[in-house]
Amino acid sequence: MVAEMAQVPPSPEVQQAIQRTLGWLKARFRRHYESKDLLLPDQFTHREFGFMYFQPGLVHRHKSFDDVHGLRTFLAGKPPARDVPAHVYHSSAYYERPDAPTMEEKGWLGADLIFDLDADHIPKSKEMTYEEMLEAVRKKIVQLHDEFLVRDFGFDERSLKIVFSGGRGYHIHVTDPRVWELGSHERREIVDYITGKELDVPGFFRESAFDAKEFRGIVKVKKMVVPPRTVDAGWGGKLARGTVALAERLEVMPAAQAVEFLAGFESVGASGASDLYENLFKARPPTGIRGVDRLRESGNLEVLTDKNRDRLLAVVTQLQQVRVDTFGPLELDGIRARAETDEPVTSDIKRLIRLPSSIHGKTGLEVVPVSRDRLDAFVPLRDAVPSAYGDDPVEARLRAPIKFRLRDETFNLTPGIVTLPEYAAVFAVCRQLATVS
Active-site residue among 118, 275, 293, 310?
A: 118
Active-site residue among 66, 306, 342, 408?
A: 342
Q: Cβ distance 429 to 25 under 8 Å?
A: yes
Q: Known catalytic residue: 116?
A: yes
Distance of CA 389 to the CA centre of its chain: 26
Q: Percent helix, strand, coil in the chain (nearest 5)?
A: 40, 20, 35
Long-range contacts of 367-373 (CB under 8 A, 24+ apart): 367/163, 367/164, 367/165, 367/166, 368/163, 368/164, 368/166, 369/39, 369/161, 369/162, 369/163, 369/164, 370/162, 370/163, 370/164, 370/170, 371/162, 372/145, 372/157, 372/160, 372/162
| Cα–Cα dist 138/383, whole Å | 14
| Cα–Cα dist 345/104, whole Å | 11
Residue 291's identity, in one-letter code, is: G
Residue 17's identity, in one-letter code, is: A
Q: Cβ distance 272 to 305 under 8 Å?
A: no
Beta-carbon count within 10 A of 69 CB = 10
Active-site residue among 116, 275, 293, 310?
A: 116
Q: Known catalytic residue: 342?
A: yes
Q: Known catalytic residue: 392?
A: no
| Cα–Cα dist 18/436, whole Å | 8
Residues taking part in catalysis: 116, 118, 342
